[in-house]
Amino acid sequence: MNNVIEIKNLKKVYNNITTVDLKSLTVRKGEIYGFLGPNGAGKSTTMKMILSLLEPTSGEIDIFGNPVEKNTEYLNHIGSMIEEPSYYPNLSGYENLLVFQKMIGFDKKNIWPTLELVGLAEKNNRRKLVKAYSLGMKQRLALAFALVKDPKILLLDEPTNGLDPAGIHEIRELIIRLAKEKGLTVFISSHILSEIEHIADRVGIINRGRLVYEGKIEKIKSNAWLEIEGDFFSDTKLKEVLEGTGVTDISDKILKFKNMDNEETSKIIRQLVIAGYPIYRVERKKESLEDIFLSMTKED
């Protein structure tokens, strides 16, 4: 699979403090890449260096196989939502994009299809001035600014900030559609880890400027266990039933076991039922992406 973004030995140093130190990072064509990290980890700084808004202290950023410092032509193929655009509050969304079109020269015919794509082309919104927009509508307009020049790569920094659950769902579905139907490569940072878990093909987790993991979410080594809920009381009989089963935690309501296959699970449940313990729930559980993220980025 082709890499459309490649970062090699990238460093950014401010006042003798290294804020970004990425040995390697790759984003593949047509994928959604989730860029995760706590505040101050270096996510936005990395994105700004990709966009040539900041100059790296050292290292290399290749877009479509070409170093960014040699040719800024690549910027014509990147749409970004890093900081909120400067809107004209007394103009409509269409008029704002028209001003943008005159500044950078993309095809004017892209404006209405883009507004339709982000949900701002309905009749009641067409003439509405941006100063009357809700926060969610402004987020959609910011996304329209990123999409209107028909880019091949989309860089999004916290695109669902301030949205309600319905708005978050809409933006999430739109991002998936852009990647899967239109073939866009999406590089997205977010603190809403559950959203990244739902949409990303791969993730990079950055902490203190360094990449601590890169790869598919499902390949992140995570703890998994079995939980059985029922009425239990700690006595000699229960200890005899559970002997050799790999039980890790016992309470009056929950038994926790190391992860096991279906045959072993069935055997334990059968033993508990025969011993007279009522069972209400059996569930396999594993660490969420948020659990893993917090573990990888915790302070020493």
Q: Is residue 297 part of a domain?
A: no
Express each pLDDT in 222-264 by its tens digit: 678 899 999 887 667 888 888 888 888 888 889 999 888 899 9
What local confidence, expressed as pLDDT, does residue 209 receive? 92
Domain ends where: 183, 218, 253?
218
Q: Is residue 298 part of a domain?
A: no
Domain ends where: 218, 234, 267?
218
In this structure, the answer to whether residues 163 and 286 fall within a common structural domain is no
Task: Name the domain count of the chain.
Answer: 2
pLDDT reading at 72 higher than 80:
yes
What local confidence, expressed as pLDDT, does residue 160 receive? 83
pLDDT reading at 48 higher than 70:
yes
What local confidence, expressed as pLDDT, does residue 299 receive? 63
What local confidence, expressed as pLDDT, does residue 194 receive? 76
Q: Which domain holds residue 261?
A: 224-291
Q: Is residue 265 part of a domain?
A: yes
Q: Is residue 252 part of a domain?
A: yes
In this structure, the answer to whether residues 12 and 79 fall within a common structural domain is yes
pLDDT reading at 161 higher than 80:
no
What local confidence, expressed as pLDDT, does residue 202 receive? 93
pLDDT reading at 300 higher than 60:
no
What local confidence, expressed as pLDDT, does residue 90 receive? 95
Q: Is residue 296 part of a domain?
A: no
- Residue 82's contacts (CB-CB under 8 Å, 6 or more residues apart) are 44, 47, 48, 51, 53, 155, 157
In this structure, the answer to whether residues 97 and 207 fall within a common structural domain is yes
In this structure, the answer to whether residues 210 and 274 fall within a common structural domain is no
What local confidence, expressed as pLDDT, does residue 221 receive? 61
In this structure, the answer to whether residues 209 and 236 fall within a common structural domain is no
Query: Looking at 110-170, which runs of residues are DSSP E strands?
Result: 153-157
Q: How confident is the model at residue 71 (pLDDT cuts 50, 70, 90)?
A: confident
In this structure, the answer to whether residues 241 and 143 fall within a common structural domain is no
Q: Is residue 300 part of a domain?
A: no
In this structure, the answer to whether residues 202 and 60 fall within a common structural domain is yes
In this structure, the answer to whether residues 16 and 98 fall within a common structural domain is yes
Across 106-119, average pLDDT: 89
Q: Is residue 299 part of a domain?
A: no
Is residue 151 within 8 Å of 78, Cβ to Cβ?
yes
Domain ends where: 218, 240, 271?
218
Q: Is residue 248 part of a domain?
A: yes
What local confidence, expressed as pLDDT, does residue 1 receive? 52
Across 136-153, average pLDDT: 91
In this structure, the answer to whether residues 27 and 148 fall within a common structural domain is yes
Q: Please state, in angstroms and rounded to a whole number, the distance separating the CA atoms of residues 29 and 27.
A: 7
What local confidence, expressed as pLDDT, does residue 105 receive? 83
- Residue 48, CA distances (Å) to 20, 53, 253 in order: 12, 5, 51
In this structure, the answer to whether residues 119 and 158 fall within a common structural domain is yes
In this structure, the answer to whether residues 65 and 49 fall within a common structural domain is yes
CATH code, domain with 189:
3.40.50.300
In this structure, the answer to whether residues 114 and 152 fall within a common structural domain is yes
- Residue 241, CA distances (Å) to 69, 251, 284 in order: 67, 14, 20
What local confidence, expressed as pLDDT, does residue 222 receive? 67
